[in-house]
Every structure is written in structure tokens, then in C-alpha cells.
């Protein structure tokens, strides 16, 4: 199989995929695909009463992804909707929609189109198993549910959002179950993925482990 210049980072919610992907994109000058944002956008646009077919067009025509330093902002029709998209309500709705075939199909081409031949780092649940099966390097990043809930708690608190820890753990476990038990594109490591359990690792440690893998594959 011809391997393409893509690094996939899959794993459960709040495992640190996003921060790792943004760090790699910054350090190595790679483009970035946060595929979870597309599922969140799907839920957001569905709430505005668009159909599955219309949603793909709305995303192509009206959504902008703006990467600055280690942040990714999302605009819809010029309005910044990043905070709304990152809320737990949209995460929950996105997870519900993501088990449907028409939803996954509607987003497939959009995700593939993020690859233009140059380096791309793509994070999600099925980047290495479905969307970029031919990626050069695949990472599966995980951590215990308690550790992930702690990280998400801090992230939401920093953004000034109200959080309740027991509810957060319950939400994360429910989403894990939805994501790993669904029939289509379940959350699973690809056969050729490097599995990293970051429960006892700092982001810096995860980053330097991954950096070594990238240097072996890409440089
Ligand atoms: O990664 P994030 O938490 O933003 O993803 C939100 C939801 O979108 C996930 O819980 C999952 O159900 C869905 N998703 C997916 N496949 C992806 C990325 C996200 O099903 N590649």
C-alpha cells in the first residue's frame, strides 16, 4: 500500500489527541484536521434544521477553520462558534449523530479533502482505521476515564464553563461506550497503530515519544 504523508491520532474523548495534534502541526508545519469538530458542526447545523445533504454543503461553503499558535477557531458565516462547538451539549449530540451512516458518509469527503499531498495530522476516532487507512504513522492515544475527566474538567473550567465532575465522568463514559460499541467506524486502534497510554504521562512526554516516531517515519 502506498503510504501518504498523514499522521493519524485516534482515541477516546479527552485523551489529549487535540493538544498533541496541534503541537505536531505547529512543530512540523503540518496541516491539521480535527475531525471531532466536523461531527460537532454536523450537530450544530442539524439543530439549525439543515438536512444531512445540506450540512455537507453548509460546511464547505460557510465554515472556516482558523489555526493560530496552538488554537483552532471555527467560524460559521463569519461568526466565531468555537465555544459553542466545544460545549458538552454539542459533544453529546455529535456522539449521537456519529453512529448514523448518512452522517459519516456526508463528512467522509470533507475529511479526505484536508489532505492536499503535504503533511497532515488528523485526530478523531477512525482516522487510522477508515478515513486515512493509508497514513504513514498511526497513533492511538488513550488514558483512564478518571484522568480524562480531570483533563476535560480543567479545560472547560479554563474556558469559564460550569462543570460538575460526577456528571462529566458519566458523560465521558457514556460517549466512550457509544463510540466503541457502534457498528460503523467503532473506536478501535488500527492494526498498525502505536498505542500510547497517557494516564501517567505529561503532554510533553507524549509529545517527545511521538516526535521520535515522526522523525523515524518522515525525516
Ligand atoms: O473529538 P470530539 O470529542 O470533538 O468528538 C465529538 C464526537 O464526534 C465523538 O464523541 C464521536 O462520537 C464523534 N466522532 C466520530 N469520529 C471521529 C471524530 C469524532 O465519531 N473521527
Residue 219 included in any domain: no
Residue 178 included in any domain: yes
Q: Is the pLDDT of residue 219 over 80?
A: no
Which residue has a Cα nearest atom 10 of ligand 1? 95
Predicted pLDDT of residue 16: 93
Residue 93 included in any domain: yes
Q: Are strands 120-124 and 31-34 parallel, antiparallel or unpaired?
A: parallel
Cα(84)–Cα(88) distance, integer angstroms: 9
Residue 215 included in any domain: no
Task: Tell me how far the alpha carbon of residue 77 lies from the centroid of ligand 1, in angstroms.
Answer: 23
Task: Tell me how far the alpha carbon of residue 219 lies from the centroid of ligand 1, in angstroms.
Answer: 30
CATH number at residue 92: 3.40.50.300
The model's confidence at residue 2, banded by pLDDT at 50, 70 and 90, is confident
Nearest to 85 by CA among 63, 70, 68: 63
The model's confidence at residue 110, banded by pLDDT at 50, 70 and 90, is very high
Query: Which domain covers residue 14, as residue numbers?
Result: 4-204
Average pLDDT, the chain: 93
The model's confidence at residue 69, banded by pLDDT at 50, 70 and 90, is confident
How many domains are there within the chain? 1
Atom of ligand 1 at shortest range from CA of 98: 20
Ligand 1 contacts CB of residue 98 (under 6 A):
yes
Burial of 9-18, coded b for 16+ CB within 10 Å and e otherwise, reads: bbbbbbbbbb
Residue 10 included in any domain: yes
Helices within the chain (DSSP H only): 17-28, 35-47, 52-62, 82-85, 88-97, 101-112, 145-158, 165-181, 203-218
Residue 214 included in any domain: no
Predicted pLDDT of residue 88: 83
Residue 210 included in any domain: no
State pLDDT tens for residues 14-64.
899 999 999 999 999 999 999 999 999 999 999 999 998 899 999 999 999
Cα(212)–Cα(77) distance, integer angstroms: 40
Residue 216 included in any domain: no
Amino acid at each position: 500500500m502506498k503510504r501518504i504523508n498523514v499522521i493519524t491520532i485516534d482515541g477516546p474523548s479527552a485523551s489529549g489527541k487535540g493538544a498533541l495534534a496541534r503541537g505536531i502541526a505547529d512543530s512540523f508545519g503540518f496541516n491539521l484536521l480535527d475531525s471531532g469538530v466536523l461531527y460537532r458542526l454536523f450537530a450544530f447545523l442539524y439543530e439549525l434544521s439543515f438536512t444531512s445533504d445540506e450540512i455537507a454543503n453548509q460546511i464547505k461553503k460557510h465554515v472556516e477553520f482558523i489555526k493560530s499558535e496552538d488554537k483552532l477557531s471555527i467560524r460559521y458565516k463569519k461568526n466565531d462558534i468555537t465555544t459553542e462547538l466545544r460545549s458538552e451539549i454539542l459533544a453529546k449530540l455529535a456522539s449521537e449523530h456519529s453512529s448514523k451512516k448518512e452522517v459519516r458518509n456526508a463528512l467522509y469527503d470533507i475529511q479526505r479533502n484536508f489532505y492536499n499531498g503535504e503533511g497532515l495530522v488528523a485526530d478523531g476516532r477512525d482516522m487510522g482505521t477508515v478515513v486515512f487507512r493509508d497514513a504513514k504513522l498511526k497513533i492511538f492515544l488513550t488514558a483512564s476515564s478518571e484522568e480524562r475527566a480531570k483533563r476535560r474538567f480543567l479545560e472547560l473550567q479554563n474556558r469559564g464553563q460550569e462543570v460538575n465532575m460526577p456528571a462529566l465522568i458519566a458523560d465521558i463514559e457514556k460517549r466512550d461506550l457509544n463510540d466503541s460499541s457502534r457498528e460503523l467506524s467503532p473506536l478501535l486502534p488500527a492494526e498498525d497503530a502505536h498505542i500510547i497510554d497517557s494516564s501517567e504521562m505529561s503532554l510533553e512526554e507524549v509529545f517527545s515519544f511521538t516526535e521520535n516516531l515522526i522523525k523515524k517515519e518522515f525525516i
